[in-house]
Amino acid sequence: MSLLRAVATSALATAHAAYDALVCVVPAPITPHLGALGPASGAIENALAIDAAIARGGRPPVVLGATGAPGGRVVLAVYGSGQPLTSDVEDVRLVAEAAAAGVARAIEAGASRPLVLTVAPTGAGPRFSKVTEVAALAALATQWFPLEAREAGKAPKGAEAIGVVGLDDERAKWVDAIEQGKRLARDIAGTDPERMAPLRVAALCEEAFAGTGIAVTVERDVSAYPLLAAVARASQVVERHRPCVVRLEYVPSGPVERTLILAGKGVTYDTGGADLKTDGSMAGMSRDKGGAAAVAGLLRTVAALGLPGVRVIGLLGMVRNSIGEESFVSDEIIKSRAGVRVRIGNTDAEGRLVLADLLAEGRELAEHAKNPTLVSVATLTGHVYRAHGPYVGLINNAPSRARGDVEQLDALAEQWAEPLERSRPRREDYALVAPRSSAEDVVSSNRLASVNTPRGHQFPFAFLDIAAGLRGGNLPFLHLDLAGAAVDPPDWQFGKPTGTPIATLAAWLAT
């Protein structure tokens, strides 16, 4: 059952009976916005007369007593530095951070039904056009707790409901659908490698999509995916670690105008394989299924919205990169699903192998699809975080660039607090994976970690392009590397899964 409650702005004065705290998310300076804060304005004005510092952005939220406010209390969460938010440096994540902190503080203060009131900055333009929705999503995200905690009965006591002022029913439906997708993505990405082993991910998908109209198919025989099967080879000896490919398909009720085919990397644990991760770098590798998690979450959102005109297919490659007698090793030459001979360069570059076979299947599906686009989604490289920090790395091919996909996605990502950084493939990327002998058609990687390789998150695109049989074709292809944005804070072992970029992709599908 959804926690979200839409509250019309006109109903703010009478909403105190249904809620027990008013969380005010306001830009600095806050004085010009006092008139928009309803029953909170007097309490905040009095508090400012005593302590002007509470108006500064970036500080912890402040709890104030306020007669007439829900629960008799106001939580003031201020964002921004006091300078106009009109430059292209600041973004709507300021709102998300303040809203999340404000709701968490309200619950800490004893509230169970907080009401969130968000004020947009003056003159900030389209990047801040979704402040109410972004604040609502941030508030709802505070109420996700790890699946292991929930199943053990150890999850903290959360909110009974979260009201959001200014949402109408249609916008509330969007927010709720996105949160449904993000919750599923967080459960898949954030759960330990045994509880969320490959076939247990498949079982969760079957459960999560029951009754939604999404068709779920689980392929346990992965022999049709030779590169994926190689990654899984050492895991086959342990029954609960065996791989699968999960196919999720959404078909709209009316005519199909476009098709989106997504390949999600679902490495449930990455030991590095024979090129073993050492020096503690294996911790957190249960989060290496973030790409598959995001794809599954997007399908859940699409189903909840019932988007017209678009058919969406998600291919989740669920596999464990284990170490053992059957480990695949560097120097092996394996023919991909597309018939491309791949020489393995490093077994810790396993995600691109999984994606290459899924993309090859996606290419096959695209041959019979209406206006298809192919997208790979993965927590693929450490280099993307080294290069871009906590942003999604986006790279695409010429047919996609000609259509303006990056410009569309970039603008939407800014609005939905999931900003991205753009790249494009270059000749150096293809040179790095070029064959060195007549024995192979492409090399999967060099011997170094991606963080120690120039263009370490760009050159895998070239590998995918070749190994999946896409290069030279007309099929638009985009690759999203989530490794820098999949958890917040960026601690792969303890950071909270974000569900990025589900909101952005859902908005893109609706355009």
Q: How far apart are CA 333 and CA 338, in angstroms?
A: 14
* pLDDT tens digits along 284-339: 999 999 999 999 999 999 999 999 999 999 999 999 999 999 999 999 999 999 99
pLDDT over 80 (residue 169): yes
CB-based contacts of 54: which residues, under 8 Å, 6+ apart? 47, 48, 62, 76, 78
**Coil vs helix vs strand at 450:** helix
- Bin 272: left if φ > 0, else alpha if -120 < ψ < 50, else beta: left
> Which of 380, 377, 356 shows the shortest CA–CA distance to 457?
380
Euclidean distance between CA atoms 70 and 16, whole angstroms = 4
Dist. CA 347–CA 277, nearest whole Å: 10
pLDDT value of position 374: 98
Helix-strand-coil split of the chain, %, nearest 5? 40, 20, 40
Report whether pLDDT(76) > 80. Answer: yes
Judged by phi (left if over 0) then psi (alpha if -120 to 50, else beta), residue 474 lies in alpha
> Band of the pLDDT at 133, cuts 50, 70, 90?
very high
Amino acid at 435: P
In the structure, what pLDDT confidence band is assigned to residue 81 with cuts at 50, 70 and 90? Answer: confident
pLDDT value of residue 369? 98
How far is CA 233 from each of CA 34, 228, 241, 325, 329, rounded to the nearest angstrom? Answer: 63, 9, 10, 9, 11
Active site residue 335: no
Distances (CA, A) of 29 to 25, 35, 50, 52, 227: 12, 13, 16, 10, 56
On the question of pLDDT at 14 being above 90, the answer is: no
Average pLDDT, the chain: 96
Residue bearing the bigger pLDDT, 140 or 56: 140
Residue 360 has pLDDT above 80, yes or no: yes
Q: Which of 277, 422, 424, 426 is catalytic?
A: 277
Residue owning tokens 């109903």: 11
Residue 244 pLDDT level (bands cut at 50, 70, 90): very high
Pick the catalytic residue: 352, 363, 455, 496?
352
Q: Set out the domains of the chain in order of their start, with CATH numbers.
A: 4-167 (3.40.220.10), 177-331+339-430+450-509 (3.40.630.10)
Percentage, residues of the chain above pLDDT 90: 92
Query: What pLDDT does 450 receive?
Result: 79
Rounded to 5 degrees, what are φ and ψ at 8?
Answer: -65, 145
CB contact at 8 A, 430 and 102: no
User: How many helices and strands, by DSSP H and E, does the chain display?
Assistant: 15, 19
Is position 277 annotated as part of the catalytic site? yes
| pTM for this prediction | 0.97
Residue 16 has pLDDT above 90, yes or no: no
Query: Which residues in 355-461 belong to E strands, given as ranges?
Result: 372-378, 392-396, 420-423, 442-443
Please say if the pLDDT value at position 84 is more than 90: no
pLDDT at residue 491 in the model: 94
pLDDT band for 88, please (50, 70, 90 cuts): confident
Check: CB of residue 316 under 8 Å from CB of residue 323.
no
Q: At residue 86, does pLDDT exceed 80?
A: no
pLDDT at 162: 98
Q: Dihedral sign, CA of 237, 239, 242, 245?
A: positive
Average pLDDT over residues 184-190: 98
pLDDT at 478 over 90: yes
* Confidence grade of residue 401 (pLDDT, cut at 50, 70, 90): very high
Question: Does residue 183 have a pLDDT over 80?
Answer: yes
118 three-class SS: strand
φ, ψ (nearest 5 deg) of residue 455 = 55, 40
Q: What is the mean pLDDT of residues 479-502?
A: 96
